[in-house]
Every structure is written in structure tokens, then in C-alpha cells.
Copies of this chain bind each other. A is one copy, B any other.
């Protein structure tokens, strides 16, 4: 089956390419992790995230000024090893320690957890913010709970700006947990990603849509007849808005899952803005792009984040990382 344009050591070569293209990020080998060369002098806490590869620019692309101090990439769709997390955390720990930003998957929780225990043994303070924004997995049969998806970008951005203002570990945990709690996502796919061995991870009929798909091609609870785009976007927003305690205003993230064009994402953003207006929900800001894809899946996610004014201030702060877009000044 027709496979991706990758070599057998896919991720390693891509990371070397990343380091070549983005010299403002340092790539460390054995174990593999990336750190910023542009750390704000006010930071007292190192921010570390990571997870499986195949979701680029997350996580390595979010290393930079106003964002992460370090990121640890696993193999494709696989958790990083705890030794990667440990070494990255040691390297970027501030005087008040390290904060781990972890997407809610069993492997990531375990590996970040093992590293955290070892760091504490060494006298380094460590805390965790768990990102669990995907509402499609709220009622999953597993005990894991909601998975972490595109909301990770929001949590990383808000925490990055808060860390640059010199907040300590406890403050950051509070900010991060709160903005994570205020952020919810849902994703749809019209075509699965290509697997590493080639061919699509699952098949859908032409008139079908996977509603609530995961970022690794986890099948959703629902395969639905494909509605008109306007109706689809309205349904997704309704599903999201009813999860928010407050919904007077939201930041909206329109995220491509890989093979979705800018034309499509911008169309979706405009439809979503119109829907929010008709529901009297204020659109505080909107970010459109491919930030947390599932390799080359054709689909998109919507994330709404009912930020506080402090969180919005952090969200809007200047940042500079390979995967962070240019924002209006």
C-alpha cells in the first residue's frame, strides 16, 4: 500500500531536518529531546511537554520564546521514553522546578510520571498539567477519560506567557489546570491518515464522516452521514458550548488534521464565527491552521476555550517558536 514519504528511521531524520531548519532550537541525542536557545530570563519554572510524533508542529515546534522550554518526541503515535522526559527536565529545570504538560494518554502519563518521581528524588520540584479536552471520549469505556488533543496548544501558549512573567510552580499549575478545564475539542474526519505500513488506517464511505475521531485515528463513537458543512460546524459548536460553564466568550482554534487545506480551514473558521455570533457567544480570538494533525488525516477539529481575562492576556502575548504562527500585531 502507498506509504508516507518517510524513511525507516523516519522520526530521527525528520528531527535532524528540524534542527537544520530551526537553529534557534537545540536538538539533543541519546536520549532525544529539543530545548530552546531563547529562554526568557524571568522564567523560574521550566515547561516541558512531549508525546508521540506525527502531530507536528506539536510538540517540538512549540519550543521557543513564550512557549515550551523543552519537548520530547516519541516514535510516531508512541509515548516518549521516561528517560527523554527526565533528561529534558533536568536540563531546563528552573529555580522553582519543572512543569510537565501532558496529554491524557496512558503511555504519556506513565512515562512523564516515572520521570517526575526520579526528578523529585533528585530534589527537583515537578508538577503536571493534564490536557484532556476531547469531548468525544468523555464516555469512553476506558478509565482514562477524555483524551488530550488540540487544546494542548492553548495550554502550552497560556502557560508559556505566564512562565515568562515569572510565576512560580504552584501559580502555573493553577493557571494551566484552569485553562485546560476551560478548553474543549471535537474532531471529524472524512478520510483516515495513512498508516506507516501504507494504506488508510480505516475506511469511510464517500458520504460518511467520522464524528469525534481521535488524533491517532481512534474510531469515533459515531460514523454519521455527512451533513452540509454549515450544519456540521453548528453541531460541533453546540456540542462544545454545552460543556462550558461560562460561554459568554471563547477563543476558537480551527485545527487541520493533516490533509485539510487552508481554504477549508478558513471556510470553517468563518462559518464557526457566524454560528458563535448567532448564539451570542463573543469570539475573543481565532487561530486557524494545522497545529495538531494526525499525520495526513483529512479532517479538522474545533476547540473552544472560555478563557478568563488573565488567560486571554497570556494567550495574546508575543511568542516565537517554529510552529507558532504570525499573529496580527
B contact residues around A298 at 8 Å (CB): 194, 259, 296
Tell me whether A13 and B300 are in contact (CB under 8 A): no
- CB pair A293–B261 under 8 Å, yes or no, is yes
- Does A309 have its Cβ within 8 Å of any Cβ on chain B? no
Interface of chain A residues 255 through 294 with chain B (CB within 8 A): 258-271, 273, 286-288, 293
B56-A262 in contact (CB<8A): yes
- Asked whether A288 and B54 contact (CB < 8 A) given A6-B267, A7-B229, the answer is no
Residue of B nearest to A206 (CB): B2
Contact in complex: B6, A263 (CB < 8 Å): yes
Contact call A17/B206, Cβ cutoff below 8 A: no
Question: Min CB distance, A61 to chain B, in Å?
Answer: 7
* A9 to chain B: closest residue by CB: B267
| A 240-254 to B, binary, CB cutoff 8 A, 1 in contact else 0 | 000000000000000
A5 / chain B contacts, CB cutoff of 8 Å: 190, 229, 260, 264, 267-268, 300
A269 to B6, CA, bound (A): 11
From residue A45, how far is it (CB to closest CB) to chain B in Å? Answer: 25
Restricting to A218-245, which residues have a CB under 8 Å from any CB of B? 226, 228-230
Q: Which residue of B lies closest to A207 (CB)?
A: B2
Closest to A188 in B: B5
Residues of B within 8 A of A293 (CB): 261
Q: Given A5-B268, A326-B326: A54 and B261 within 8 A (CB)?
A: yes
Q: A95: CB under 8 A from chain B?
A: no
**Copies of this protein chain in the complex:** 2
Question: Chain B's nearest CB lies how many Å from the CB of A89?
Answer: 24
**A268, B321: Cα distance in complex, Å:** 21
Restricting to A14-41, which residues have a CB under 8 Å from any CB of B?
A: 14-18, 20-24
> Is A4 close to B, CB under 8 A?
yes
Centre residue among A18, A190, A261, A328 by max chain B CB count within 10 A: A261
A53 to B259, CA, bound (A): 16
Instruction: Decide if B21 touches A288 in the complex (CB within 8 Å).
Output: yes
Cβ of A57 under 8 Å from chain B: yes
A-B pairs, 9 with minimum CB distance = A17-B266, A259-B259, A17-B270, A56-B262, A14-B266, A5-B264, A2-B206, A17-B269, A14-B263
Show 28 residue pairs from A and B whose CB-CB distance is below 8 angstroms, ordered by the A residue: A2-B226, A4-B261, A5-B268, A5-B300, A6-B267, A7-B228, A7-B229, A7-B267, A7-B271, A13-B267, A13-B270, A13-B271, A14-B266, A14-B270, A15-B266, A16-B270, A17-B273, A21-B288, A23-B328, A54-B261, A54-B263, A56-B262, A56-B266, A198-B206, A199-B206, A259-B259, A263-B295, A296-B298
